[in-house]
Amino acid sequence: MNITNHVKSLIKDSKLSSDLYLGILTESELPQRAILYGAKHSLYPMKLQITYTKN
Amino acid sequence: MKMLQKDDTLFNQYMKGFKITSSPTDNSSFLYGFNFSNTALNSQLPINRLVMYYTVASGDTTLRKTYEYLINYATINRFVHDNKGSQLENTLKDTLLGNNLTFIQPMGGAKTVINLNNVRKLGNNLINKAELIVYVAEPIGSEGYSSPPQQLTATYKQAGGNLALIPDIEQLVSSSIDFGQVFGVASIEANRYSNIQ
């Protein structure tokens, strides 16, 4: 999931909430739900990969 | 009554709306969806509307009229989530369990929250790309109609408390661009939500 612009906004605006809420498209229309592996799962941890250039 | 037929404003004041409900023919739970958006209609019927067919007394065929009223639809839903005895119930009681498994439900259910405060440590650098990678913890399609959704979204809480789509998604929505091409969809082979290469 590309969140590049959101991360830029977080860095630029210190007052912006740093909590990211994962939800489902068509939240009120489809009953589909998801179970995801957490950040500390031993095999499949969720990850945030950031590519940046040193300034 | 004649005035109501001729004046949309008077009619809307008089007619508060219709309540559409459903009842199952057996004991199973189900959802039935309506799409009242104008985009859901075809080119011949580009506007949602209420049509009132008007006829005169039997035997008199001199007058036939159709009155059309624009409708302003409202959706009121009530969803009850029963998490008793589930893994989700345990995780909601002990959020540290979310380190291993985390849950996302539609209809106002559970949401996964990720705190990104640490990215602010990169403040002096130029961000080229940030990609969140999450793995599905069950085979797609194994749960029938409750299979994982094809598309996740991400929101953040605004100062007023409302949730808003992050800019990366907002751009796609405003431009009517297919999410999957640039944002990632559920990949059965890789069992994860990822961008299409």
Give me the residue from A19, A23, A44 closest to B104, CB to CB.
A23
pLDDT in tens, B60-72: 665 666 666 666 6
A29 CB-contact burial (10 Å; exposed 0-12 / middle 13-18 / buried 19+) = middle
pLDDT in tens, B118-132: 999 998 899 999 999
SS3 B56: coil
Kindly state whether B160 is in contact with chain A, defined as any CB-CB distance less than 8 angstroms. no
Could you tell me the pLDDT band of residue B9, with boundaries at 50, 70 and 90? Answer: confident
Chain B closest CA to A28's CA: distance in Å?
5
pLDDT in tens, B129-169: 999 998 888 755 555 556 677 788 899 999 888 889 999 88
Kindly state whether A47 is in contact with chain B, defined as any CB-CB distance less than 8 angstroms. yes
B154 neighbors A22 (Cβ within 8 angstroms)? yes
B98 neighbors A27 (Cβ within 8 angstroms)? no
Contact state of A22 with B158 under an 8 Å Cβ cutoff: no
> Residue B25 gets which letter from DSSP?
S
ipTM of the prediction greater than 0.90, yes or no: yes
